[in-house]
Structure 1
Amino acid sequence: MPKLTVTWPHQVAIGKNCILEKGIFFKYDGTWQQGPSIRIQDDSFIGTGCEFNIRMSIDIGKGALIASGCRFVDHDHGIAAGRPMRFQDGPEQAIVIGEDVWIGANVVVLKGVSIGNGAIVAAGAIVTKSILPNEIWAGVPAKKIGQRQ
């Protein structure tokens, strides 16, 4: 296992035959609770320098391919006036990555997103909406550009 950074080790569960490259940051950003909240299924790949900034949960399906530099964030800050934003908790919504999903380099996946089985997300995309199975998405913000046949 390469060097990883994990804030709460009991919050991370990694399946069999996974390949994790160096410099991955598993940051559980909530208060202590039973885990795991970051669940990676069998045969998945996670590239160098990925960050998982999770308060609620993320599930990564079997055989998922996540390229280098990707970011996953399942929460926001509040934006009410009169109180510094850094002290405000915002909405939290789980992230779900299906089986056999390919996420290109430097993709950002935000709270509440589900990516269906067999979907592809192009490098550099920012995903703010859920993606159906076998769809191909790209752009900022990400939009559907095709369908796997």
Structure 2
Amino acid sequence: MKQKYNWYSPRDKALAQRRRRAKRIVENINATAQDKFGERKAQFESLFGTTGKGFYIESPFHCDYGDNIRLGDNFYANTGCVILDAAAVTFGKNCMLGPQVGIYTATHPLDAELRAQGLEASLPITIGDDVWIGGNATLLAGVSLGNRVVVGAGSVVTKSFGDDVVIAGNPAKIMKKNSI
């Protein structure tokens, strides 16, 4: 089922102000030594909508707004993680992201005239519990991953998947069922 987009202008002053706030915090985080756990944790907590217990994010990290990101307990993101959070990005507990993972809620129109107007849309991304996303994987706007999903390195996830699957490829497809 196709989702309906609500087009908006990212040039909106309120949105631009939120992005500037996030950029300042992210620049401070990325400039803070990795071994200053408490300082980095406090900065991430001021940036994100919610954080669970026991999260760690390697530098460099990038996001658009930050306040649309919700972390479950025991979250880990390796170096180079990019979360374009124009819409909500929700992680369950025990999620791990490999290096250079991209999570993109924003999308742009296929129609050249709309694109020329600078319009974009966003759809939320939801990631279940116990999910492992391999390095250089990309999740696109509107996808949901169930619990205990493994995403192979380099995959491009363009649609949603349920629980207990290993997915890989471009576009990602089910490689096998994950049985416990």
Residue 3 of structure 1 aligns to a residue whose secondary structure is helix
Flag the 1:45–1:86 CA change in 2: closer, same or farther, 3 A.
Answer: farther
Q: Gaps (5+ residues) in structure 2?
A: 1-27, 32-42
1:13 pairs with 2:50: yes
* 1:77-96 alignment, distance < 5 Å: 77-82=108-113, 84-85=115-116, 87-90=118-121, 92-96=122-126
1:104 corresponding residue in structure 2:
134
Structure 1 residues 12 and 140: alpha-carbon distance in aligned structure 2, compared to 1, 3 A threshold: same
> Could you say which structure has the higher strand fraction?
1
Which string of whole-angstrom CA distances, capped at 9 and with x for unpartnered residues, describes residues 38-80 of structure 1? 1111111111000001111100111001111000111211232
Q: Does 1:53 align with 2:79?
A: no
Q: How many residues align?
A: 139
**TM superposition shift of 1:125:** 0.1
Identity over aligned residues, as a percent?
A: 30
Who is 2:12 aligned against? none
2:165 paired residue number: 135
1:106-131 deviations in whole A, cap 9, x for unaligned? Answer: 10000110000001000000000101
Structure 1: which 5+ residue stretches go unaligned?
A: 29-34
State the Cα RMSD in Å: 2.2
Larger Rg: 2
Deviation at 1:22, TM superposition (A): 1.2
Q: Return structure 1 stretches of 4+ with deviation > 3 angstroms.
A: 2-6, 9-12, 81-86
Which deviates further from its counterpart, 13-22 or 42-51? 13-22
